[in-house]
């Protein structure tokens, strides 16, 4: 694991979602992708997964995507064709969710996140995030 990336993620988490930037979202996705390449639990979770996530950040007019397919993750900025689901939220809620600070289910129930598309895939995405954050905790202990 790139420990410089782990340090960046730790800095994002330490400052909190309310101070998040668009670049922080990309850094979090980069970390999740790196964990997916190394962490056996996450690799196993991704083996049979084929989902495409579109994230829409309303207050900064940004879109991101994440694709889980054939045991790998990829991500990018902008639109992606035929997402399994789209979730829409503010930067604070989206960054908080990626960093494990915001529970996606609670945010959805509170109306802080809207989801269009396959809710089962949305729950699988939440599992990816949880496994990535568990791995982060292990890596952070090495800092």
For residue range 82-110, list pLDDT tens digits in order: 999 999 999 999 999 999 899 988 999 99
At the topology level, CATH places domain 3-140 in Nonspecific Lipid-transfer Protein; Chain A (3.30.1050)
User: Vertex 75, ends 110 and 93: CA angle to 5°?
Assistant: 20
pLDDT of 4: 97
Sign of torsion over alpha carbons 23, 25, 28, 29: negative
pLDDT at 45: 87
Helix (H, G, I), strand (E, B) or coil at 102: coil
Q: Indicate the domain borders of the chain.
A: 3-140
**Number of C-beta neighbours around residue 65 at 10 A:** 19
- The whole-model pTM stands at 0.92
pLDDT of residue 50: 94
């Amino acid at each position: 694991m790139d420990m410089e990336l782990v340090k960046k993620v730790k800095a994002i988490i330490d400052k909190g979602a309310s101070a998040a930037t668009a670049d922080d979202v990309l850094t979090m996705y980069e970390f999740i992708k790196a964990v997916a390449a190394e962490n056996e639990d996450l690799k196993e979770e991704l083996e049979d997964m084929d989902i495409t996530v579109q994230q829409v950040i309303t207050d900064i007019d940004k879109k991101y995507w994440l694709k889980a397919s054939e045991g790998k993750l990829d991500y990018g900025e902008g639109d992606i064709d035929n997402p399994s689901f789209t979730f829409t939220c503010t930067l604070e809620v989206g960054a908080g969710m990626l960093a494990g600070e915001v529970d996606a289910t609670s945010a959805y129930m509170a109306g802080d996140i809207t989801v269009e598309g396959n809710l089962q895939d949305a729950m699988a995405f939440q599992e990816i995030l949880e496994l990535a954050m568990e791995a982060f905790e292990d890596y952070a202990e090495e800092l």
